[in-house]
Amino acid sequence: MSMVFKALILGLLFGLFAKEALASNCPSLLDSTQRKLNSNDSVSLCDAYQGKVLLVVNTASQCGFTGQFKELEALHNEFKDQGFSVVGFPSNDFNQDRGSEENTAKVCYLDYGVTFPMMARSSIKGDNANPVFAEMAKQSGVTPKWNFYKYLVGRDGNVVGVFSTGTSPTDAKITSMIKGQL
């Protein structure tokens, strides 16, 4: 066997083992695959967000706080190049989301210009809670009481802060914690 061929085989094996090692070290909060909003495409949260700082938010398209999409987008754009992302999870648990995922997507993408990742509509509390929200509630002891609850997740995949609906995404409490995690 040639040296080039051996090096190629070793490189492929190393790549497979490295990917396997990363997957086995996936924090429980990120250990799921989620469908993207109004799409058949899915994303492995471990592959996409492991090692990043996240602000995870339960959203609703017909809520008095829906205007927070503008601030969430500004926050996302300010820190996205530093290993940060906002991740939105639409929910109708409080009867404030539009009738279909298509309508929810319109509000997010067209009305508010959201570019941060939005996942498919899911429940965020109770027995049918999305596994991400079930784990965040377990870690923090806080279940969303309304739409636009914000969970700050550190690079290690653990919740480091929870902010209620009334806390603006660009509030100094949130931005200073994000900076501290970056």
63 is annotated as an active-site residue: yes
Q: What is 27-181's CATH number?
A: 3.40.30.10
H or E segment and range at residue 14 = helix 3-24
Helix axes 172-181, 68-79, angle to 10 degrees: 30
Alpha-carbon torsion 41, 45, 51, 53, what sign? positive
Name the average pLDDT for the chain.
90
State yes or no: pLDDT of 11 exceeds 60: no
- pLDDT digits over 88-103, tens only? 999 999 999 978 999 9
pLDDT, residue 22, reads 45
Confidence of residue 80 (pLDDT cuts 50, 70, 90): very high
Per-residue pLDDT tens digits for 57-77: 999 999 999 999 999 999 999
pTM for the whole structure: 0.86
Per mean pLDDT, which range of 15-19, 57-61, 136-140, 152-156 is the poorest?
Answer: 15-19
Catalytic residue among 26, 46, 63, 108: 63
Residue 88 and residue 44: Cα distance in Å, rounded?
15
Does residue 101 sit in helix, strand or coil?
helix
- Over residues 94-113, mean pLDDT: 93
Res 146 pLDDT > 70: yes
Domain residue ranges in the chain = 27-181
Is residue 40's pLDDT more than 50?
A: yes
